């Protein structure tokens, strides 16, 4: 049962071939088998999962079944879960048990979804490899010596290893799409504001967005249907009707124009990535789409712009972790300032400290205009680049990441090289547009390669249609890593 997709398991639950409890027990067994190797989970909520499955079975018996009723799911550990530890993979939040559910978690529970546990991540979502977690390093199920991507590496690894049916991640600069590419699964960052951020522990508030990580495109549409929509508890939530994303599961791109930005095919990109992405574009071209080279001229400034804006927002957001209200407090402090300093020094890991210091610097007196204001202006230019590009094409096609998954430890001593892992995903967050990563091939070493499909604001349906068309004409999504 652990190999099934959401829609396959739903069919079996609806036909009463299996129960939600049987499915949940099968997944919990699978976690015990494979998680000691991949370490995708920080917390496994076995007791709560069985209780949730039993409740789902009661609903099904009463004829109240939705597409997610009884489906075992994983949640990234930066989304609040009532009564269940939420750490953001940081010592400073170790032992923090939220008194409420994030809106997305509540919506999944309302649909009858079963929570298996909380997935590992880079601390406070700051990283591209899930090596920055305070508690453990997650490994890629395709090759245990390589990274699963980040920061939602635990969620992506769990989906790829069949240690959950689907998962939620969050994406600030590529943190859903890049791990989805590394692990050979589907990951979507919706339009900024399409999904409520209420209960998502903030990193970069103008960039963060929650999204689905799934085994195929149909599951992505199903999960998106459940979690998208206006939320009055989130001031940035878009108050517009939500379409039925499942209706976009159409195998047709005839007459579409695919924009391929020349700036994304750069020197230094792995030639195998370029080859597989080129082959994927040719598949879509063979299905009736037209390929057009487009320009996104400010792409070269995206990484610098992103690492000014996101660190500035992180510096502001993470000021609340001071040892006073909740979370870790340094035990030996005698004075208030000493307690603040020691709590934050001990509680935050090196990457989080680096970003807080960068952010504090760019917001400091005399530097605000030179850095943060200038970055905000460049961000507007990047957004305008996308708007002009979409006047010429229906969707934009790029690689998701410049290389397949790299080896554990390979980039830990070189933060700049690590930051460049997100070079193809960052612009999407700065512009606020939706994008999806779908597996499009494998490297010579057998590691997955991802294709990124980018759409206009609020045009997730178009992305889903393009991805579904590609998926139904290839078999990359059917391949699974060989874990015993």
Active-site annotation, residues: 76, 151, 175
Contact in structure between 189 and 177 (CB atoms under 8 Å)? yes
Determine the Cα–Cα distance for residues 83 and 89; give it in Å rounded to an integer: 17
Backbone angles phi, psi at 121, to 5 degrees: -165, 165
Determine the Cα–Cα distance for residues 196 and 168; give it in Å rounded to an integer: 13
Place of tokens 């005698």: 334
Q: Assign 346 to helix, strand or coil.
A: helix
Q: For residue 76, what are its two tokens?
A: 């990234």
Determine the Cα–Cα distance for residues 433 and 431; give it in Å rounded to an integer: 6
Q: Assign 448 to helix, strand or coil.
A: strand
Contact in structure between 435 and 174 (CB atoms under 8 Å)? no
Q: For residue 144, what are its two tokens?
A: 């245990």
Determine the Cα–Cα distance for residues 464 and 466; give it in Å rounded to an integer: 6
Q: Assign 180 to helix, strand or coil.
A: helix
Q: At what angle do helices 217-227 and 103-110 cross, to 10 degrees?
A: 110
Q: Are strands 257-261 and 290-294 parallel, antiparallel or unpaired?
A: parallel
Closest CA to 119 of 185, 66, 59, 190: 185
Determine the Cα–Cα distance for residues 118 and 137; give it in Å rounded to an integer: 14
Closest CA to 278 of 399, 195, 374, 377: 399
Backbone angles phi, psi at 142, to 5 degrees: -75, -30
- Cis amide bond preceding 151, omega within 30: yes
């Amino acid at each position: 049962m652990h190999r099934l997709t959401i829609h396959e398991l739903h069919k079996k639950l609806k036909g009463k071939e299996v129960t939600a409890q049987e499915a949940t027990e099968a997944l919990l067994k699978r976690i015990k088998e494979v998680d000691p190797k991949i370490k995708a989970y920080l917390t496994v909520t076995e007791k709560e999962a069985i209780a949730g499955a039993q409740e789902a079975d009661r609903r099904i018996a009463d004829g109240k079944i939705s597409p997610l009723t009884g489906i075992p799911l994983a949640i990234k550990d930066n989304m609040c879960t009532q009564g269940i530890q939420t750490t953001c993979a940081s010592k400073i939040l170790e032992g923090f048990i939220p008194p409420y559910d994030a809106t997305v978690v509540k919506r999944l529970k309302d649909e009858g979804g079963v929570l298996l546990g909380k997935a590992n991540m880079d601390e406070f979502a700051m990283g591209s490899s899930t090596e920055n977690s305070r508690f453990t390093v997650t490994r890629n199920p395709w090759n245990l010596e390589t990274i699963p991507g980040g920061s939602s590496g635990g969620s992506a690894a769990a989906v790829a290893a069949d240690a959950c049916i689907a998962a939620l991640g969050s994406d600030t600069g590529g943190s859903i799409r890049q791990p989805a590419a590394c692990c050979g699964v589907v990951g979507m960052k919706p339009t900024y504001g399409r999904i409520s951020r209420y209960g998502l522990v903030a990193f970069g508030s103008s960039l963060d967005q929650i999204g689905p990580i799934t085994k195929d495109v149909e599951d992505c549409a199903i999960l998106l249907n459940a979690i998208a929509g206006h939320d009055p508890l989130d001031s940035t939530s878009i108050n517009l009707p939500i379409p039925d994303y499942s209706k976009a599961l159409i195998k047709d791109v005839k007459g579409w124009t695919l924009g391929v930005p020349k700036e994304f095919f750069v020197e230094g990109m792995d030639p195998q990535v370029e080859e597989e992405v080129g082959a994927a574009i040719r598949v879509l071209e063979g299905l009736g789409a037209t390929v057009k080279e487009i320009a996104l001229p400010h792409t070269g400034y995206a990484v610098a712009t992103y690492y000014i804006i996101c660190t500035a927002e992180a510096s502001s957001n993470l000021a609340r972790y001071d040892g006073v209200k909740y979370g870790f407090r340094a035990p030996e402090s005698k004075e208030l300032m000493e307690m603040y300093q020691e709590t934050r020094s001990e509680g935050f890991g090196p990457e989080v400290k680096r970003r807080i210091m960068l952010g504090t610097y760019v917001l400091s007196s005399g530097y605000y205009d030179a850095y943060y204001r200038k970055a905000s202006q460049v961000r507007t230019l990047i957004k305008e680049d996308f708007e002009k590009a979409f006047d010429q094409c229906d969707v934009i096609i790029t690689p998701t990441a410049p290389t397949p998954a790299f080896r554990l430890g390979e980039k830990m001593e070189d933060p700049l090289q690590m930051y460049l892992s997100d070079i193809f995903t960052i612009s999407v967050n700065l512009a606020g547009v939706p994008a999806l990563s779908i597996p499009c091939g494998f490297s010579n070493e057998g590691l997955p390669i991802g294709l990124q499909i980018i759409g206009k604001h609020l045009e997730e349906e178009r992305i889903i249609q393009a991805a579904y068309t590609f998926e139904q004409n290839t078999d990359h999504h059917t391949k699974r890593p060989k874990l015993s």
